[in-house]
Structure 1
């Protein structure tokens, strides 16, 4: 299998208006190699069709089909973008021969190219190993002189050691070690962490790496003002922000189709409210969504949630 393929326009469908009233009428599927730098406002959807990291982490297979599942639901949603804003689908990165590391490197390269071309990347996954690729693309674009703050909506720290190889549970540990090697600061904020989803060694690692986090018990809409204060304090200390949303952080009442479901997760309202705060900072540089597993979805509920999150972000930028 090739490491990259262009998205077929037929992936997007929905009600026809002939007036660009729906996303499927607005989105343009292009080859990533054909993009040129532009001063126009442009959003780029890039798929990461890979669940090799999930397999290595002993999770449920199926996230490889996540990007197209999100695209299909996104296409049916209404379009409120102005005519001057371009919405581009720039294809998908694939993992060939279980070579996760090469797929992550390819993703990093593509994210860097999108940022170089003045596009805002939204990466659709795929396992949460997506984070190592997206982050490195931002890092290659900004260089070591700029600090990057990672905000992860997730039940899990994903700070497992990669001593035995990279997985969907190791990306932020990898990033921390890369920061240590380059002499740069590791800025990491986790929203929605659950004690029943992380063992004591992961909490110890988080403390050692000075990870900031809000537990699920506190990550609730009724504490929105306090959460805003924590997010803003975190953002003030960095030059750029990278947001990653792991769908398994949501309660399985909203997201049954994930690699590691749980009814104890958070709700969409607090995530949407937090995203508004992050976007308002003007520092959001890229975003990805991980762990959609269509194999286990119920009535496409998780795909619809992911598509609605993407829809909200592209209309808020």
Structure 2
């Protein structure tokens, strides 16, 4: 498959740091023997979760954001594979596929200028090409009866996740988005701010819940639009944490009730977590522990079809910290889903 960089046993041996009397996560995960027909192989593999990364900044660039989201996969895989393997981490249920790498598109970004409309237009065309790869891969994984865990890139990739799952399941799916932003901007060419609006307009997304919107970052026009649509519901960070009009646990149930009547995707945007390296890092937001609670609560439902963790933008100084947090969220999701 084009753009897929397989994760190999050689890479695993380089990353894995074995210690006496300990067993690491990476010692028990499964790797793909070859990559000619991913669907066919998955139907024969005794795993539940397929982890893969997306190395791209194009969608964030196309939305006038700060790049760096292409670094999240490498930061995560180094930590995840060296997590302890025990009865609660379920490493044997996990296959590591590798990552979708868009090196040519990334190189083109270096020649583009965000201040020029024609360059933004070019970057948005590239995002549409990225969409195709993601939706195809997700559809293959879901069709094989497995659950994708997707790491990295911008929130533009929600579109590919939703479309891929919808095509595999042969019906529109729902989505819940733990995010400071609605990502329901106009269909003006693909970027990280309109993955959900495109998926909704094209019939792949049905019910949508935005959890923890920052009231300072929603325009009056979008506010009016989503208030008119019965299939879209939301709450705000300020209502939950600042004014305490709503309770965090009750709102998690509110979100779950809106999406769990059918298959749904679980989207986690690092922009929602306070002081976490992301494309739009914020000095205010939910805590790390609240993000973990959210993943556990929503991941505990039988209808969750995938997990997507995006917008993390680690630097060399914060790489380990980001990798640890994403690894916690991955294992929280697996633990929750295995408790069903």
How does the TM-score come out when normalised to structure 2?
A: 0.81
Taking a change above 3 Å as real, the CA distance of residues 204 and 18 of structure 1, as seen in their structure-2 partners, is farther
The 3-state SS of whatever aligns with 2:66 is: coil
* Alpha-carbon separation, structure 2, partners of 1:52 and 1:244: 19
Q: What is the rounded CA distance, in whole Å, between the counterparts of 1:297 and 1:186 in structure 2?
A: 40
For 1:133 and 1:297, the matched residues in 2 are separated by 30
* 102-111 or 222-231, larger mean C-alpha shift: 222-231
Indicate the larger mover: 204-213 or 214-223.
Answer: 214-223
- Matching residue of 2:267: 244
> What is aligned with 1:3?
3
Question: TM-score under structure 1 normalisation?
Answer: 0.87
Whole-Å Cα distance in 1 between the matches of residues 133 and 191 of structure 2? Answer: 16
Residue 15 (structure 2) pairs with residue 13 (structure 1): yes
Give 5+ residue unaligned stretches, structure 1: none
Counterpart position of 2:119: none
1:8 CA displacement = 4.0
Gap change, CA 1:18 and 1:130, over 3 Å in 2: farther
Matched positions, count: 305
Query: What displacement does 1:234 show?
Result: 1.2
Within 2, Cα distance between the matches of 1:191 and 1:168? 17
Q: 1:227 to 1:113 in 2, by over 3 A?
A: same
CA distance in 2, matches of 1:199, 1:94: 34
Larger displacement relative to structure 2 (120-129 or 72-81): 72-81
Aligned residue for 1:243, secondary structure, equals strand
- Mark the runs of 5 or more structure 2 residues left unpaired by the alignment: 106-122
Q: Deviations over 1:229-268 (max 9, x none)?
A: 31342135x311110101111111xx1x210001111112
- Report the Cα offset of residue 18 of structure 1: 7.1
Structure-2 change in CA distance of 1:45 and 1:299 (3 Å): closer
Structure 2 CA distance for aligned equivalents of residues 18 and 29 of structure 1: 23
Q: Does 1:261 align with 2:281?
A: yes
Name the CA shift for 1:218/1:77 in 2 (closer, same or farther; >3 Å): farther
Separation of aligned partners in 1, 2:324 and 2:217: 24
Q: Mark the CA change 1:244 to 1:102 in structure 2 (over 3 Å): closer, same or farther.
A: same
Shift of 1:125: 1.4
Match of 1:77 in 2: 83
Please tell me whether residue 100 in structure 1 is matched to residue 127 in structure 2.
yes
| CA RMSD of superposed structures (Å) | 2.6
CA distance in 1, matches of 2:21, 2:146: 24
What does the per-residue CA deviation read over 1:278-309, in whole Å, with 9 as the maximum and x for residues that have no partner?
A: 23321111111111112376363223211210
- Quote the Cα distance in structure 1 between the aligned partners of 2:162 and 2:205: 14
Alpha-carbon distance between aligned partners in 1 of 2:258 and 2:45, rounded to the nearest angstrom:
29
Q: Report deviation, 1:270.
A: 2.3
The equivalent residue for 2:324 is: 304
Does the aligned pair in 2 maintain the 1:258–1:297 contact within 8 Å? Answer: no
Distance 1:258 1:83 in 2: 28
CA distance in 1, matches of 2:25, 2:278: 25
Confirm or deny: 8 A CA contact 1:70 1:304 kept in the other structure: yes
Q: Paired residue for 2:185?
A: 160
Given the alignment of the two structures, is residue 87 of structure 1 paired with residue 114 of structure 2, yes or no? no
**Deviation at residue 36 of structure 1 after TM alignment:** 3.5
Does the 8 A contact of 2:209 with 2:259 survive in 1? Answer: no
Q: Report the alpha carbon displacement of residue 194 of structure 1 after superposing the two structures with TM.
A: 0.4
